Structures are given as C-alpha cells and as structure tokens.
Structure 1
Amino acid sequence: MTENDTWQGKVAIVTGGSSGIGLATTTALVASGANVLITGRNADKLAEVAASNDQIEALQIDSADVTSGQQIVEAAMSRWGRIDLIVNNSGAGQLLPVGEYDAEIIAKISAVNVVAPSQLVKAAYTALKESKGAIVNIGTAVSRNAAPMLAHYGATKAALEHLTKSWAVELAKDGIRVNTIAPGPVKTGALTGFMGLPEEMAQQVETQEAAQVPLGRRGVTSDIVPWILRLGSSENEWLTGQVLTVDGGWSLRS
C-alpha cells in the first residue's frame, strides 16, 4: 500500500493549520490524498491556505473558545462526514517571569494547551471511534527540563503528554490510538508569533538554541511532519500512548 492509498479519502483536523508545523502537516496530508480542516485565528492566512487546494477547508476560531471543539468537529463532519485524524497543534506560551505572573495569561495558556485539545477529543470521540482513527498531540521538548520564564508553557505541554497516555489507555478499546510528538527548537516563526518576542531577541534565541543542539542546527518542519503522518496513519496499528521527542538531542543537554 502506498502512502497515497493510506490517506486517500481520509479526513484530518489540524488546529493551528495555517502556519508552521500545522501548515506543513496540512500540505503533506493533502499531497498524500487526505482532506484537511484547518483552524486558526488569522482569517487572511486561513483563506490563503484554503484557496491553495480544494481538499482544504478553513475555520476561523480561537482554540481558547470553550465551544471550539464542537464547532471544529461539526465543520469537518458537515463537509466530509468522517474524521480519521486529529492533530492538536495549536499552542500558546509567553515569556513570563515569576514577578509578572498574570492569572489571565496563565488561564489562556492552559485553555489552548490543555482545555482545547480535551474538548476537541471529546467532540470527535464518536467519529474517531467509527473510523478507528488517531490523535497526534504536539507537545514540546521544553517539557524535558526546567524552563525558567516558560514554566507554564512547559507545564501545560507536560499535561498534554499525560493526557496522551491516559487517552491512549481509555480509548484503546475503541481502536483509537493517541501519541505525542515533542519537537525541539524548530523554525516556525513561533518566537515572534505566539511567544511575542521582538525580531532581534528572537534571532538571539535562535542562535543560542542552535548552538545547544548536539546535531548542530535548529529543526525544520520537514524533520517533524513525517513522524506526525506516521503516527497518524492507519497502517500504524500497534503504537499508542507514546511521546516521541524529535529535537536533534537538544533536551539531552546538561
């Protein structure tokens, strides 16, 4: 069976699908024959991606919206009538020293990184059970070590890893597999995007991170996407509850 046969006619949901890892995943899925519903907050980016291929449907929505899960599933089911894969890729984080902790910011990070995936999985449960589908959560290698000023980003992504393992056991009886990819420093624009760093500071961080990676460079989306498709594929029938760190050895540094 070829990769195109594996994904032909299948339906995936990719949150945060208009940029970075989400966009690269969407592009790869469509090239392999899948239909993809992408979500995000930027209407222009979503429209641009959706216009590039009629296999892509876009839904402008904030993952922090407590009703987002149900709305996303309804949009996918209305268009294609099935769901085979969910990629929980949307993420939130912010540099936050202890002296600047803000309850609203922490709640927003938690809403996007923990609550939103939970609500989406709940909403998609029946459809995934029918298709014996898969869930691939996008965590972070930041969770592997202490993360000063990124504590809540790391903590909420660590929570997503725990959810991965718990869902894997709970949903195994339904043939639904759940795994996580934990990327290291990847060139996605996240530093100036949801992290909100000025361009100059982001460049400094990128240089510093590249120097810390044993394999000698920051990652690119093509280092991550093949693993997402592999874990999400129906051909992968006996791997669940795993967290795969793809970071060039970055999290192993002392």
Structure 2
Amino acid sequence: MLKDKVVIITGGGAGIGLAAARLFVEKGAKVLITGRKTGPLEEIAASDPNIKAFTADVSDPESATRTVAAAIEHWGRLDLIVNNAGSGVIQPLIDANLKSINDIFAVNVAGPTMLAAAAITHLEETKGSIINISSTYGSKAAAGLSLYAASKAAMEHLTRCWALELAPKGIRVNAVASGPVETAFLRDRMGLTDEQINEVKEHERQIIPLGRRGEPDDVARWIVNLADADSGWITGQIIGVDGGLVIS
C-alpha cells in the first residue's frame, strides 16, 4: 500500500532514519533523506535510485520549505513526513543555559513544526500523514535529561494537537516513542565519551524489562506500519517501542 508514495525523512543518513528509508523503499516508496552531512547522504542515495539526498539542517527555519520543494521537484507529490532528526543533551539543571535550551528546542520542536507546516498543502492533496519520532523520556522522568525530555514531551503534545487540527484535511498525525537504540546518537548528538557511553548502555540494559537496547529496525518497522493505509484509522497516538522501559 506504499508503492510510489513519497516520503521525507529528516535525519535519514543513519540510525532509525536510514533503517526506515530502506524499509519504505522495500515497500515501493520513494524517499528523500535529509541531514547536515552531504557526503554520507549522497553515498546512500547513490546505492538506491529510489532514495534522494538533500542537505538540510532542521534547526534552520528556511530548510523546511526547501526540503518540501526538493521532494516535489523530484516526484511531484508528497505523502509522508517523518520528523526523525533529533538532538539531545545530558545536563543538570544547575548547568542549564539559554544556548542549550534554544539548541535542543530548535531541532526537536521548532524544526519539526516548520516542516509539518510547509508540507500541509501537499499532504492534504494526497491524504498523507506525519510521523514524529519521540522518546520514552517524553513521558518518563529522568534526572539530568530535563531539556531533552521536555522537548520530546512537547513533540508528543504537538502530535495530538496536529492530529485534531489536520483530521478534517484527511491528514493523520502519530508519533513513535523510541527507547534506547544502537545508533551513534549518544556520541554524535549527546557528545558523550566512550566511557560515558558504555556506562549509559549498561545502565539501560539493566533497567529495560526485555533486557536489551533496541536496533534501528525495531523502531523503523513501526514507522512504516503507521504510514501504511492499513493504519488509516489511527491518529493522535504515541506508540511506545522501547522494550518496556517506560513502565520500568
């Protein structure tokens, strides 16, 4: 049911975004992946004719309209937005500063909002959908994660509000709240050292009820499921995919 559908995935050059892009292509869709590093994006696109690369920083307000325009230029339509690009920080409240607040909310809240707004007209034409990638910590409290968690909580409430607002246009809006996944996020986006990463991973393995961190495909499958027409009566929902972490 996804054949020839056109998908934009932000942060599509690695991890969950890349896994989702490949699954969408397997289902017959065409995918525009975005990210800040041109080289890796172009390498991925060169490996598959149904994946196109577009260099964009979601925190740049002007990138939203350019990203949507790129998808329309390539394929003439737009069916799905996956707001996957994210930023994180482990920062105690005593160290909080305005730059940290602005940086994380620019990527996790403002960027997805601007891209969704830029896509509405096209999504209305195709009766498409928006899928936001949240986190277990959008609803689960954790010390030192207040900024990241608050930004994901905001994304989840945006999901519900957009679902109500866009339902009359035939646009569905849902979110996948991912638990810890084996990607480069802890190093590349949270800036942790190898020692810190190992400590975090071991702690997570101990508290996740199913006893392991996730793989990108664990989450990507649910992104694709929510996009499929078989999920056409689902909107405004936050689907947790986290090995049970949220209830631990």
Q: TM-score, with normalisation over the residues of structure 1? A: 0.95
Q: 1:185 offset after TM fit, Å?
A: 1.1
Seq. identity, %: 46
Shift of the alpha carbon at 1:31? 1.3
Matched residue, 1:10: 5
Q: Where does structure 2 lack aligned partners over 5 or more consecutive residues?
A: none
| Amino acid across the alignment from 2:138 | S
Task: List aligned pairs for 1:1-254, cutoff 5 A.
Answer: 6-253=1-248
Q: Is the 8 A contact 2:214 2:243 kept in 1?
A: yes
User: Shift in Å at residue 143 of structure 1?
Assistant: 2.0
The separation in 1 between residues aligned to 2:39 and 2:5, in whole angstroms, is: 26
Aligned-pair CA distance for 1:222: 1.8
**Structure 1 vs Structure 2 CA RMSD:** 0.9
Which 4+ residue blocks in structure 1 deviate beyond 2 angstroms? none
Output one character per residue of 1:180-238: Cα deviation in whole Å (capped at 9) or x when no partner. Answer: 00011111111111011011210111111011111111111121111101111123211
CA distance in 2, matches of 1:126, 1:233: 20
Give, in whole Å, the separation in 1 of the partners of 2:100 and 2:36. Answer: 17
Report the AA paired with residue 64 of structure 2.
Answer: G
- Which amino acid in the other structure matches residue 74 of structure 1? A
Task: Give the TM-score normalised by the residue count of structure 2.
Answer: 0.98
Amino acid at match of 1:168: A
Q: Provide the C-alpha distance between the structure 1 equivalents of 2:94 and 2:211, rounded to a whole number of angstroms.
A: 34
Unpaired runs of at least 5, structure 1? 1-5
